[in-house]
Amino acid sequence: MPHEHSTVTYPPVRWAILAACSLASACFQLAAMSYPPLLGEVAKGLNVELPKAVQLMTYFMLFSTISFFVSGPFVDRFGPAVAIIASVALASIPTLATLWIGHSYAAVVIIRILQGCSVGFCMAGTVPLVMQWFPPHQRAFALGVTGAFLPLGAVLGSIVTPAAFIALGDWRTAMAVVSIIPFAVLAYCLIVFGMTKGRAPASAGGPADGASSGDAFKAALISPPTWLGVAVTFVANWLMQTAFSLTPSYFTEPAPAGLGLGPLAGGSLTTILQVASIIAPVVGGYIAGRFFNGRSGGLLIAGLVLVITYGALQFQTVYDMQAIFVFFLILPGLGIGLLIPMLQTKIAASYEPCIVGRMNGLWLGIGSFGGAVGLFVSAEALAATGTYIAAVNIITLIAFIGAVLAAILNRTQDDVAARTNATRQWFVGG
């Protein structure tokens, strides 16, 4: 575990830093979700078929994944504050540029690629900043707050974009309106990080024993807990993407494929799942800091166990009784909301500050493929069976596997520092 200095004083300005990280998280989600409400208009405006317009979401997701592998070394080289500023710039400037260059499909593809890259830079920069500015017992709460802003940004995108389009009647102009929010956040970040430059109370320098960061990174790469963590992150993304993507259709589609509740009820009920996922990171982070001294392992397992309850949504005794139905929407929503913030807290607690950016990129970069794999497997299950029940059961099974992996990770995590230090000494001495 990284060395901590008990005499470090953490100033109140850390909450302004946390606000910058949280707002940056909301910005890349706003950029991501600004397109789905207007995909039909985008297709007409670019004179392409709707499926080709939908592919613009794929470009965003693909390059958001790639950006994790680039942003980790970027953070370790230039610092986390620069990465946060870069993320907000990538969410704002290309979005505004849509107004002038968004008249060809190729140009919009480039815009979506740049927007997608904002994800990795924000996620990679957030954990090191929290490590520098917050004491260990507050880090889980701080990362929980930033985690709560992810779905909030998505909700904001689904509201602001169609409202701007209805008011202005042009999708490109609507994107320019959307860009006002990340530009305001960019100005805030420039001011806050400019005022606090060089004043971080905790160092993000090299390992305490004088070894190079390269040695620390090599040691971490061959440490078993690292790859257990990557596996759990893969599971977390699988669960998050499939649950949020499939639930609306599962509720809406008529039997026997779905529950046949209709679009209105299906959308309203899915919102319950999403709201629970917004609340969970803040509450979970507070609990981790208040009762577990910032340790997140137990809450990570609890989150995965809560997701297992998603399987109850297939039973008629559950969905025929509204109160019970809502209850079993809240439980997995809380679980899903805990996963990524608790994993980021574990990353912060497990590695030297000088390699946290790269390890965050590794865990979340490889782990993000879990979302694509989960959606593919669920789609295949739906095609093979003609019902969402198989997909629901797959979510339940994957959550159980994740809980087992997280339990194994927690057992090995306690000695990860000893393993890493011993291996690093081998690299240094050998």
User: What is the distance between the alpha carbons of residues 295 and 291, in angstroms, rounded to a whole number?
Assistant: 9
pLDDT at residue 413, as a whole number: 65
Instruction: Note whether residue 9 is domain-resident.
Output: no
Q: 119: which 2 tokens?
A: 């994800």
Confirm if 344 and 127 have CB atoms less than 8 A apart: yes
- Residues 219, 348, single domain; the answer is yes
Q: State the residue for tokens 């046949």.
A: 260
Confirm if 28 and 115 have CB atoms less than 8 A apart: yes
How far CA 162 is from CA of 40, 169, 178, 404, in Å, comes to: 12, 10, 10, 42
DSSP state of 311: G
Residue-by-residue pLDDT tens, the chain, 430 positions: 454 445 678 889 999 999 999 999 999 989 988 887 888 889 899 998 887 887 888 888 889 889 988 888 888 788 899 999 999 999 999 999 999 999 999 999 999 999 999 999 998 899 889 888 988 888 888 988 998 888 788 778 878 888 999 999 899 999 999 999 999 999 999 999 999 887 877 655 545 444 556 777 888 888 888 999 999 999 999 998 888 878 877 887 788 888 888 767 777 787 888 889 888 888 888 888 777 776 778 889 999 999 999 999 888 888 888 889 899 999 999 999 899 888 988 888 888 777 887 888 888 888 888 888 888 888 888 888 888 899 899 999 999 999 999 999 888 765 554 554 554 454 444 4
Torsion of CA 12, 16, 21, 25, to 10 degrees: 130
Residues with Cβ within 8 Å of 341's Cβ and at least 6 positions away in sequence, in order, are: 140, 143, 144, 146, 147, 281, 284, 285, 296
Instruction: Note whether residue 201 is domain-resident.
Output: no
CATH number of the structural domain spanning residue 130: 1.20.1250.20
- Residues 166, 313, single domain; the answer is no
Chain-centre distance for alpha carbon 100: 30
DSSP state of 154: H
Residues recorded for the chain: 430
User: What is the distance between the alpha carbons of residues 414 and 411, in angstroms, rounded to a whole number?
Assistant: 6
Q: State the residue for tokens 């499909």.
A: 105
Single-letter amino acid, residue 193: F
- Residues 345, 283, single domain; the answer is yes
User: What is the distance between the alpha carbons of residues 399 and 391, in angstroms, rounded to a whole number?
Assistant: 12
Q: How many domains does the chain have?
A: 2
Instruction: Note whether residue 358 is domain-resident.
Output: yes
Containing domain of residue 259, as a range?
A: 213-429
pLDDT at residue 273, as a whole number: 85
pLDDT at residue 428, as a whole number: 46
pLDDT at residue 7, as a whole number: 66
Residues with Cβ within 8 Å of 422's Cβ and at least 6 positions away in sequence, in order, are: none
Q: How many CA atoms lie within 13 A of 426 on its CB side?
A: 11
Instruction: Note whether residue 206 is domain-resident.
Output: no
- Residues 298, 171, single domain; the answer is no
Report long-range pairs for 286-294 (Cβ below 8 Å, ≥24 apart): 286/141, 286/144, 288/140, 288/141, 288/144, 288/342, 288/345, 289/137, 289/138, 289/139, 289/140, 289/141, 292/140, 293/136, 293/137, 294/136, 294/137, 294/138, 294/139, 294/140, 294/345, 294/349
Instruction: Note whether residue 309 is domain-resident.
Output: yes
Single-letter amino acid, residue 339: L
- Residues 364, 278, single domain; the answer is yes
Number of C-beta neighbours around residue 36 at 10 A: 16
Q: 222: which 2 tokens?
A: 């061959």
Q: What are phi and psi of 387, to 5 degrees?
A: -145, 155
- Residues 329, 354, single domain; the answer is yes
Give the torsion sign (CA, 43, 49, 55, 59).
negative
Instruction: Note whether residue 257 is domain-resident.
Output: yes
- Residues 343, 225, single domain; the answer is yes
Instruction: Note whether residue 146 is domain-resident.
Output: yes
Nearest to 119 by CA among 62, 188, 184, 67: 67
- pTM reported for the whole predicted model: 0.80
User: What is the distance between the alpha carbons of residues 180 and 317, in angstroms, rounded to a whole number?
Assistant: 47
- Residues 183, 247, single domain; the answer is no
- Residues 233, 371, single domain; the answer is yes
- Out of 143, 164, 196, pick the residue that ends a domain: 196
- Residues 294, 328, single domain; the answer is yes
User: What is the distance between the alpha carbons of residues 196 and 191, in angstroms, rounded to a whole number?
Assistant: 9
- Residues 255, 330, single domain; the answer is yes
Instruction: Note whether residue 208 is domain-resident.
Output: no
Q: How many CA atoms lie within 13 A of 298 on its CB side?
A: 10
- Residues 169, 282, single domain; the answer is no
- Out of 196, 228, 255, pick the residue that ends a domain: 196
- Out of 155, 171, 196, pick the residue that ends a domain: 196
